[in-house]
Structure 1
Amino acid sequence: MKIGCHISVAKGLFQAVQRAHELGAESLQVFTKNPRGLRPKKIDYIDAEKGVDFMKELDIQLVAHTPYITNLSTFKEDLWAVTIRSIKEDLHIAETYGAIGAVVHCGKHVGEGEEYGIKRMIETLDVILEEYEGPTKLLLENTAGQGSELGLELETLVSIRESCKYPEKIGFCFDTCHAFAAGQWNGDTFDSFVEKMKETGYLDHLAAIHFNDSKAPFASKKDRHEKIGQGEIGSEALRKFLIHPFFEGLPVILETPVEDEAEYGEEMVYLRQLKGVVQ
């Protein structure tokens, strides 16, 4: 298991990897571009190459994250075209950064209905992936169920992947907070939930975990991250992921609220203590 955290890439990939290493991370996540925008980003290929080489030297894994505002299920043709262009670019950036995957949030049907939203999402994914031949997978992230968000249930995510023309180019990123807020799991149902991950085939394509506690209660449908052990999920329930053999080897990324990235260093120490790794 590669415990890590989200790091700013504002000063380049190489510096982001250096920062992650200083904090004790074995994995890191970076945004492909401004998380609140879809404007194209100029890539510093020299810096990216240095960052990738440094990650290989340190055996650090990287996960990329696409902007929050993309909507794979939008019915608006102009936004649909921009979303496709943006995520194609995100995949290129993620590949240049040596990322194992580029996380994308599932679609929102925005009043058009779940059936339409899922159909549109599959159509969008097919267009995005049609010409992409690189090694970086597009990772669908489960949602908390706010508003008209799709992709709460494991079965839905697996079905979307299987319905696409290029399922081999798609994987999953599991967010502990989102699934808890969506009412999909808690400490009492962990074992049965993990068994469902296996039975549905979801586990076979799981590439990364976003490891977050939740400010909001179970089944609240509210996406509110909290530091580990300070939220509604609690350390004991989250520890189950850290010690379960099914998740060994995966990058486990903290996205908890911090004022300074240095706080992630302390939190990663805590995660290793929970897991039982001697510091």
Structure 2
Amino acid sequence: MKIGCHISVAKGLEKAVQQAVLLGAESFQVFTKNPRGLKPKKVNQVDADNGVSLLQKHDITLVCHTPYITNMSTPKEDLQEVTIRSIVEDLHIAEAYGAIGAVVHCGKHVGEGEEYGTKRMVETLDLILEQYDGPVKLLLENTAGQGTELGLTIKSLMEIRNATKFPEKIGFCFDTCHAFAAGQWNLDSFDQLIEEMKSTGYLDSLVCIHYNDSKAPFDSHKDRHEKIGKGEIGSEALAKFLTCPDLQHLPVVLETPVDDEKEYAEEIKYLHELRQG
């Protein structure tokens, strides 16, 4: 298990890897581009190559995250086209960075209904993945269920993946806060969660974990991250992910709220302590 955090890539991938080393991160996540925009981004290939070399030197695993504002279930043709272009580009950027996957948020049906939204999301995924044949997997992230978000449950995520033409190109990113807020797990139901991951085949395609406590209560459907042990989930429940034998092969990435990335160094140490018991 490689424990790490989200790090800014504003100064380039090489600087981001150097920051990861300083923080004691064994894995980390970066945005492919501005998380609040879809403006195309040109990769600095020299920086990318230097960054990848550093990743390999320090045996650090990288995960990329696509912008928040894409919507793979949008009923609007122009927005679907922009979403497809942006995510295809994100996959190529993630490949240049040596990432194992590119996390994407599930679609929002924006009032059109779950059945329409799911069908539209599958269609959009097919249009994206027919344009990308590289090694990077597109990772569907479970949601808290705010508004009209899709992808709250393990079952629905597997149904979406299996309905596409390219299930082998799709993996998953499990967010502890989102699943708690969606009413999918808590301290008492952790074992059932892992059993469902196994029985559905979800675990076989799980690529990374977003590791966050929750400001909002269980089943609140509110996406509000909190530092580990400071929120509604608590350290006892979250520690189960760190000690679970079935999850030891995965990178675990903190996305907890910090004023400065340096704060992650202490939190990473805390996770190692939790893992030791």
TM over 0.5: yes
Match of 2:224 in 1: 224
After superposition, where does 1:1-279 map in structure 2 within 5 Å? 1-276=1-276
Task: Report the residue type matching 1:192 in the other structure.
Answer: Q
In the alignment, the residues of structure 2 paired with residue 168 and residue 52 of structure 1 have an alpha-carbon distance, to the nearest angstrom, of: 25
In the alignment, the residues of structure 2 paired with residue 202 and residue 166 of structure 1 have an alpha-carbon distance, to the nearest angstrom, of: 15
Task: Report the residue type matching 1:173 in the other structure.
Answer: C
Task: Report the residue type matching 1:233 in the other structure.
Answer: I
Task: Report the residue type matching 1:65 in the other structure.
Answer: H
Task: Report the residue type matching 2:56 in the other structure.
Answer: K
Structure 1-normalised TM-score? 0.99
In the alignment, the residues of structure 2 paired with residue 182 and residue 192 of structure 1 have an alpha-carbon distance, to the nearest angstrom, of: 15
Deviations 1:81-138 (A, max 9, x none): 0000000000000000000000000000000000000000000000000021100000
In the alignment, the residues of structure 1 paired with residue 241 and residue 195 of structure 2 have an alpha-carbon distance, to the nearest angstrom, of: 13
Task: Report the residue type matching 2:169 in the other structure.
Answer: K
In the alignment, the residues of structure 2 paired with residue 85 and residue 263 of structure 1 have an alpha-carbon distance, to the nearest angstrom, of: 35
In the alignment, the residues of structure 2 paired with residue 4 and residue 11 of structure 1 have an alpha-carbon distance, to the nearest angstrom, of: 19
How many residue pairs get matched? 277
- What's the RMSD between the two structures over aligned residues? 0.6
Secondary structure class of the residue paired with 1:128:
helix
In the alignment, the residues of structure 1 paired with residue 61 and residue 9 of structure 2 have an alpha-carbon distance, to the nearest angstrom, of: 15
In the alignment, the residues of structure 2 paired with residue 254 and residue 94 of structure 1 have an alpha-carbon distance, to the nearest angstrom, of: 19
Task: Report the residue type matching 1:169 in the other structure.
Answer: K
Instruction: Tell me how far 1:22 sits from its aligned partner.
Output: 0.5
Instruction: Tell me how far 1:6 sits from its aligned partner.
Output: 0.2
In the alignment, the residues of structure 2 paired with residue 39 and residue 115 of structure 1 have an alpha-carbon distance, to the nearest angstrom, of: 30
In the alignment, the residues of structure 1 paired with residue 139 and residue 7 of structure 2 have an alpha-carbon distance, to the nearest angstrom, of: 19
In the alignment, the residues of structure 1 paired with residue 84 and residue 170 of structure 2 have an alpha-carbon distance, to the nearest angstrom, of: 15
Deviations 1:36-92 (A, max 9, x none): 000001210000000001100110000000000000000011111000000000000
Displacement over 2 Å in runs of 4+: none
Alpha-carbon contact 2:228-2:234 (below 8 Å) kept:
yes
Secondary structure class of the residue paired with 1:39:
coil
Task: Report the residue type matching 2:43 in the other structure.
Answer: I
Runs of 5+ consecutive residues of structure 2 not aligned to the other structure: none
Task: Report the residue type matching 1:73 in the other structure.
Answer: S
Instruction: Tell me how far 1:249 sits from its aligned partner.
Output: 1.8
Task: Report the residue type matching 1:62 in the other structure.
Answer: L
In the alignment, the residues of structure 2 paired with residue 95 and residue 123 of structure 1 have an alpha-carbon distance, to the nearest angstrom, of: 23
Secondary structure class of the residue paired with 1:188:
helix
In the alignment, the residues of structure 2 paired with residue 32 and residue 176 of structure 1 have an alpha-carbon distance, to the nearest angstrom, of: 22
Secondary structure class of the residue paired with 1:177:
helix
Secondary structure class of the residue paired with 2:3:
strand
